[in-house]
């Protein structure tokens, strides 16, 4: 089962109107290897209750790698915690290099994270949105 942007967008739209969304490709189009997943988005009207709900979903799942909902910047990002640790956070220019290095050098991690990410999207699709 692949990660489809439409499924991720549909899951996130249940919690609010999206202003922006990004989901990198699951498979590197040039080299054909699996890539570590992460997803970024911005709601037009972000709400604390929504963030807490999404964060609770991510933390409650029996994932194989640790995940974080990072809200330190304007966009919210669900990302493997390892990337944040190794890159020094989303704002650090090393973020992209860290993702690239993991993609190229740790395929086991990428595959585990991809399995987790599919489960996260599926659970978000089932989770009721919090009521104001």
- Exposure string of 93-112, with b = 16+ CB inside 10 Å and e = fewer, is eebeebbeebbeeeeebbeb
- pLDDT tens-digit profile of 106-118? 999 999 999 999 9
Residue 32 is predicted with a pLDDT of 94
Q: Per this entry, what is the length of the chain?
A: 132
Q: For residue 16, how many other CB atoms are within 10 A of its CB?
A: 16
What's the burial of 20, exposed, middle or buried (CB within 10 Å: 0-12/13-18/19+)?
exposed
The answer to whether the predicted template modeling score (pTM) of the entire model surpasses 0.85 is yes
pLDDT over 70 for what percent of the chain? 97
For range 18-40, the mean pLDDT: 94
């Amino acid at each position: 089962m692949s990660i489809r942007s439409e499924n991720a967008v549909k899951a996130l739209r249940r919690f609010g109107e999206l202003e922006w969304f990004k989901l990198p490709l699951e498979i590197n189009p040039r080299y054909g290897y699996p890539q570590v997943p992460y997803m970024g988005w911005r709601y037009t009207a972000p709400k604390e209750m929504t963030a807490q709900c999404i964060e609770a979903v991510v933390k409650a799942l029996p994932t194989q790698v640790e995940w974080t909902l990072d809200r330190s910047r304007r966009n919210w990002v669900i990302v493997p915690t390892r990337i944040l640790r190794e890159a020094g956070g989303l704002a650090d220019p090393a973020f992209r290099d860290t993702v690239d290095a993991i993609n190229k050098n740790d395929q086991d991690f990428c595959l585990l994270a991809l399995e987790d990410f599919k489960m996260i999207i599926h659970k978000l699709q089932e989770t009721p949105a919090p009521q104001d």
